[in-house]
Chains A and B, each alone.
Chain A
Amino acid sequence: MSVNIIKKERNAIINPLKTCQPLGAMYAVTGIRRAVPLVHGSQGCSTFVRYSLSRHFREPSEIAVTSLHEDAAVFGGRRNLVEGLQNVAIRLKPDLIGVITTCSSEIIGDDIVGFIRTAKDELKQKIGEEVTEKIKIVPISTPSFVETHLKGYDNAIKALADHVAEPSEPNEKINIIPGMTNPGDVREIKHILAFMDVNGIILTDISDPFDSPLRPSTTEYKPYYPKGGTTVEEIVDSANSLGTISLTKYAGSGALSLEKKYNVPAELGPIPIGVQNTDQFLRNLKKLTGNDVTDEILDERGLLIDSMADFASRYLHGRTAAIYGDPEITSGIARFVGELGMEPKLVLTGSDNKEFVKDIEKVAKETGAEIDTMVGQDLRAMEVYLKDNPVDLMIGNSDARLMAKEYGIPLIRVGFPVYDRVGYHRRPIVGYNGGIHLIDLITNTILEKYYEHEHWKLQQ
């Protein structure tokens, strides 16, 4: 019935469960059509993130960098950014450039807004005022030494709301901030919107850029711009929407900004993982649009409940799980696991967040379970915990794969990064369909590990 918070007892981070802000911002800008993330920092700041993104999505990840070097640390990064912006603008002709800062550029104290102005002035001389004005240049402040990648994502979406969105005529649309979810999740949200007869603006839509077709004849290659993504026009129009739903309250600043500036009502979280969270998402949609939940959606809900009825008591009830990763996904899965009659024994996130504890307290209340909770922790903490407190199942990213193997605990892969299995970025975990996918995954894993193979035919 309660949450037991296990505090961090170390300075050292050992096997991290978080990364720094710029990654979140690069992810967000990739979801914009014909946009270029321009990282103002060292080459490693873009290159290592590109590695991480490419490993997870198995897609190109095209991120430009201003290549700061020692002289910039001494004299500032003005020349690098001003030149970098012009090179991107002239060479790649993008619709938008997201200028993403890093620890070094933040500490040096570069005047990003001023540098952008200078770059624009110089660009006007070179390519004319009209062409220059067409390219939106958005400053995104992402100091790496503050919070986590989610904050960087949040800052990027907020920057779009603050610098790009413009009020005009009401548009009857709903803005969706998907958080750092996968292409499969965004597609599932779009599917729900279509069934609800709602037009959406996804801020931002990584579904196609991070899962794009191999069609050499149609792919833009000068430069490589992936298919899809939210258009700049849509982002501009987001100021005129009926409302904004952020699937995560950990990245709701953009939604709040649109509410404050343009009276676009905001709903923050919870992420629609599992039955009740998806119900809440649909209630939010209904509240903002007035549209009723359609029969098709109720059928999909019924399919999920049907699967739960088929499997939950037979195979899953009382099974214990350790769930780890980003706060929103982790708390969403904890709640779903509770809905299945399982016990979320340990819930762990890398970011230090009080909201998270509240979420888990809610799950504890609903399930009657004692939940050990760790915030601002790392995978080493989970390793130590599981040694004395074994669980039936681990649910989280690939980074605990060696631990899972060592302890002989099966691992269900969700979240970011998943690099040692394929297809996980493509299949949703949100919405009722995502729930069906998750329950299939969980049940099959339990069957494989804990049931006698020769009796499967009888264990229906």
Chain B
Amino acid sequence: MRILEVLHMEPKIESIIDTFESRKKHMCIKGDDISIPDCNKATLPGTVTQRTCVFGGARIVLMPITDSLHLIHGPIGCASCTWDIRGSKSSRSNLYKKGCSTDMGEKDIIFGGERKLFETIIELNKLYNPGAIFVYATCVSGVIGDDIKAVCKKSEEITGIRIVPVQSEGFQDYNKTKGHWIGCDALLDYVIGTKELEKTTPYDINIVGEFNVAGDLWGIKPLFKEMGVNIISTITGDSYVDEIAQAHGAKLNIVQCQKSSNYLADKMEKKYGIPSIKVNFFGIKQTINSLRDVADFFDDEEMMERTEEIIKSGLNDVEHKIEEYKERLTGKTVALYVGGNKAWSLVRAFEELGMDVIMSGTKNGMKEDYERIKDTVRDGTVIVDDANSNELALLLKKYQPNLLISGAKEKYISLKLGIPFCDFNHDRISAFAGFNGFISFAKEVDASVSSPVFDLTSKKLMEQ
């Protein structure tokens, strides 16, 4: 393995790549003395960061609530650059795709923007009659001190619908995880528990931290239905706000994106006594384990039997369909550089394709996230925290993986280096979750890694 050779030559953490002194401890190699990088630190000013702001974190957690409007209280850019940017699919309403802004101008900065916000909420409610209006604070509304909570309360009395303040001032923190929590807090404080469950069954669950990107949820939902589990709400993929309002009636929360949503599950456990199970539907084994865990939780013989049937038929389908891809992908290397959760949840999925994860990193990881990465990857894997664009390029150049898994900003950096790329972020087109999702996943990874394009670099011309 190439990486082990490199390791052999360079046993010191300090020399992984050339970067700022203070950044060196944010990268390490598993198996060394230090197997967890330094993390959750402020981004170094003056770097091309791959991180985003707290507002962004809250926005992406709540955006998939499809029957609601998401109103950004700030200058126009905060809405313009973020409307409809998450590939979360909807089976019903399309309201969530609208880009709504109070478009704060100079006057609002001087005199305050509360009046404008109030009028905007009233207008939007009249125009669309949404399930709810989520009102997001931005840096500007924060700095000038607009009391969006009070405005929301007043508007709620007039409109009669849920007007939910989201205290997501962008500069609050360097880690957008805080934004995820703020999004979760908005649900906990203003939505969950505000409507009684109409009908209960012994098998009521919420799917938490599943945002239905590219329709992932739709790969999981039928499996649960077959098992006999009743889904009260998904938080927040393809959801209506009224469904989330009843989430407190569930017997169990299953948590897919643990980075953004463990926080919510923990709080719900404290507040409503709902236990939670961490699940992962990326990969065959992980899907199987997740299904079994849920069946085990309900401790119902029949459900367990049905679950085994589902697993059997799922496996039957998947194994021969991925064979061809696996053949081509075996032995190929992959680097992960993602928001958080996927840095560990994808590792096994790649192993099932015969691939070798040689690097895994996150932009916003906390210590516990890196513990999980460390526990999941094998010795010799590079673990990296908050790599800026320059560092990412250097890491890719040094380790030359056959594939990078990351998002839209990283995509073109990787491609310019001649390194194949596969999107596993908001822009993804295919659903990757569950058994069928795994087939699409294998197909897309193969399309990236096995593309003939990367054999055609300019070097080739000079060689011939």
A residues sitting closer than 8 Å to B (CB atoms) are 10-16, 18-23, 38, 41-52, 54-55, 58-70, 72-73, 79-81, 83-88, 91-92, 102-104, 107-108, 143-146, 148-149, 212, 214-219, 221-224, 380, 402
Closest to A145 in B: B75
| B389 CB contacts on chain A under 8 angstroms | 60, 62, 223-224
| B104 CB contacts on chain A under 8 angstroms | 145
Cβ contact within 8 Å between B82 and A48: yes
| A107 CB contacts on chain B under 8 angstroms | 109, 140, 143-144
| A14 CB contacts on chain B under 8 angstroms | 98-100, 124, 127
Cβ contact within 8 Å between A38 and B413: no
| A145 CB contacts on chain B under 8 angstroms | 75, 104-106, 108-109, 140
Give the 6 A-B residue pairs with the shortest CB-CB distance, closest first.
A44-B53, A20-B77, A84-B46, A87-B46, A84-B45, A19-B80
Cβ contact within 8 Å between A91 and B52: no
Cβ contact within 8 Å between A85 and B139: no
Given the known A-B contacts A42-B139, A84-B45, A91-B20, are A67 and B101 also in contact in the complex, defined by CB atoms under 8 Å? no
Cβ contact within 8 Å between B52 and A48: yes
Q: How far is the CA of A218 from the CA of B164 in the complex (A)?
A: 52
Please pick, from B80, B139, B416, the residue contacting A224 in the complex, using a CB distance under 8 A: B416
| A92 CB contacts on chain B under 8 angstroms | 390
Cβ contact within 8 Å between B43 and A43: yes
User: Is B283 at the interface (CB under 8 A from chain A)?
Assistant: no
Closest to B407 in A: A51
| A86 CB contacts on chain B under 8 angstroms | 46
User: Is B313 at the interface (CB under 8 A from chain A)?
Assistant: no
Write the B53-77 contact mask toward A (1 if CB under 8 angstroms, else 0): 1111000000000000001001111
Enumerate 20 A-B pairs (CB-CB under 8 Å) in ascending A order. A13-B101, A19-B76, A45-B53, A48-B77, A51-B85, A60-B413, A64-B49, A65-B43, A65-B49, A67-B174, A68-B139, A69-B173, A69-B174, A91-B20, A91-B47, A104-B140, A104-B143, A107-B144, A218-B458, A221-B397
Please pick, from B49, B77, B100, the residue contacting A144 in the complex, using a CB distance under 8 A: B77
| B418 CB contacts on chain A under 8 angstroms | 214, 216
Write the B402-418 contact mask toward A (1 if CB under 8 angstroms, else 0): 00000011011101111
Please pick, from B120, B144, B390, the residue contacting A11 in the complex, using a CB distance under 8 A: B120
Q: How far is the CA of A20 from the CA of B51 in the complex (A)?
A: 20
Please pick, from B53, B80, B144, B413, the residue contacting A47 in the complex, using a CB distance under 8 A: B53
Closest to A53 in B: B409
Instruction: Name which of B54, B390, B459 has the most chain A CB atoms within 10 A of its CB.
Output: B390
Given the known A-B contacts A47-B56, A83-B46, are A69 and B172 also in contact in the complex, defined by CB atoms under 8 Å? yes
Q: How far is the CA of A216 from the CA of B394 in the complex (A)?
A: 12
| B409 CB contacts on chain A under 8 angstroms | 47, 50-51, 54, 60-61
Cβ contact within 8 Å between A108 and B143: yes
Cβ contact within 8 Å between B390 and A67: no
Taking CB atoms and an 8 Å cut-off, the chain B residues in 380-398 that contact chain A are 389-390, 393-394, 397
Cβ contact within 8 Å between A54 and B106: no
Please pick, from B20, B83, B123, the residue contacting A12 in the complex, using a CB distance under 8 A: B123
Closest to A384 in B: B127
Q: How far is the CA of A20 from the CA of B139 in the complex (A)?
A: 14
| B52 CB contacts on chain A under 8 angstroms | 43-44, 47-48
Given the known A-B contacts A108-B143, A224-B416, are A87 and B98 also in contact in the complex, defined by CB atoms under 8 Å? no
Taking CB atoms and an 8 Å cut-off, the chain B residues in 150-182 that contact chain A are 170-174, 176
| B50 CB contacts on chain A under 8 angstroms | 47
Cβ contact within 8 Å between B82 and A67: no
User: Is B445 at the interface (CB under 8 A from chain A)?
Assistant: no
Given the known A-B contacts A54-B411, A224-B416, are A67 and B43 also in contact in the complex, defined by CB atoms under 8 Å? yes
Please pick, from B74, B81, B411, the residue contacting A52 in the complex, using a CB distance under 8 A: B81
| A215 CB contacts on chain B under 8 angstroms | 457-458
User: Is B142 at the interface (CB under 8 A from chain A)?
Assistant: yes
Closest to B104 in A: A145
User: Is B287 at the interface (CB under 8 A from chain A)?
Assistant: no
CB distance from A113 to the nearest CB of B (A): 18
| B172 CB contacts on chain A under 8 angstroms | 69-70
Cβ contact within 8 Å between B77 and A38: no
| A85 CB contacts on chain B under 8 angstroms | 46
Closest to B173 in A: A69
User: Is B147 at the interface (CB under 8 A from chain A)?
Assistant: no
| A217 CB contacts on chain B under 8 angstroms | 457-459
Q: How far is the CA of A15 from the CA of B71 in the complex (A)?
A: 11
Cβ contact within 8 Å between B119 and A11: yes
Cβ contact within 8 Å between B81 and A49: yes
Please pick, from A47, A88, A380, the residue contacting B46 in the complex, using a CB distance under 8 A: A88
| B142 CB contacts on chain A under 8 angstroms | 73
Cβ contact within 8 Å between A91 and B76: no
| A68 CB contacts on chain B under 8 angstroms | 139, 171
CB distance from B460 to the nearest CB of A (A): 11
CB distance from B247 to the nearest CB of A (A): 28
Closest to B53 in A: A44
Cβ contact within 8 Å between B416 and A223: no
CB distance from A78 to the nearest CB of B (A): 11
Cβ contact within 8 Å between A11 and B457: no
CB distance from B11 to the nearest CB of A (A): 24
Please pick, from A12, A44, A65, A218, the residue contacting B124 in the complex, using a CB distance under 8 A: A12
Please pick, from A19, A21, A212, the residue contacting B81 in the complex, using a CB distance under 8 A: A19
Cβ contact within 8 Å between B56 and A48: yes
Cβ contact within 8 Å between B171 and A70: yes
Cβ contact within 8 Å between A51 and B101: no
Q: How far is the CA of A66 from the CA of B49 in the complex (A)?
A: 9
Q: How far is the CA of A91 from the CA of B391 in the complex (A)?
A: 11
Write the B81-120 contact mask toward A (1 if CB under 8 angstroms, else 0): 1110100000000100111111111101100000010011
| A45 CB contacts on chain B under 8 angstroms | 53, 77, 170
Given the known A-B contacts A216-B417, A219-B416, are A72 and B171 also in contact in the complex, defined by CB atoms under 8 Å? yes
Q: How far is the CA of A103 from the CA of B144 in the complex (A)?
A: 11
Cβ contact within 8 Å between A216 and B77: no
User: Is B79 at the interface (CB under 8 A from chain A)?
Assistant: yes
Closest to B456 in A: A214
Q: How far is the CA of A48 from the CA of B170 in the complex (A)?
A: 12
Cβ contact within 8 Å between A13 and B79: yes
Q: How far is the CA of A101 from the CA of B348 in the complex (A)?
A: 44
User: Is B1 at the interface (CB under 8 A from chain A)?
Assistant: no
Closest to B85 in A: A51
Cβ contact within 8 Å between B408 and A54: yes
User: Is B349 at the interface (CB under 8 A from chain A)?
Assistant: no
Given the known A-B contacts A107-B109, A107-B140, A222-B390, are A66 and B397 also in contact in the complex, defined by CB atoms under 8 Å? no
User: Is B137 at the interface (CB under 8 A from chain A)?
Assistant: no
CB distance from A20 to the nearest CB of B (A): 3
Cβ contact within 8 Å between B47 and A16: no
Given the known A-B contacts A43-B43, A51-B85, A83-B46, are A221 and B417 also in contact in the complex, defined by CB atoms under 8 Å? yes
User: Is B78 at the interface (CB under 8 A from chain A)?
Assistant: yes
Q: How far is the CA of A92 from the CA of B97 in the complex (A)?
A: 38
CB distance from A219 to the nearest CB of B (A): 6
Cβ contact within 8 Å between B408 and A51: yes
Instruction: Name which of B44, B108, B140, B412 has the most chain A CB atoms within 10 A of its CB.
Output: B412
CB distance from B175 to the nearest CB of A (A): 10
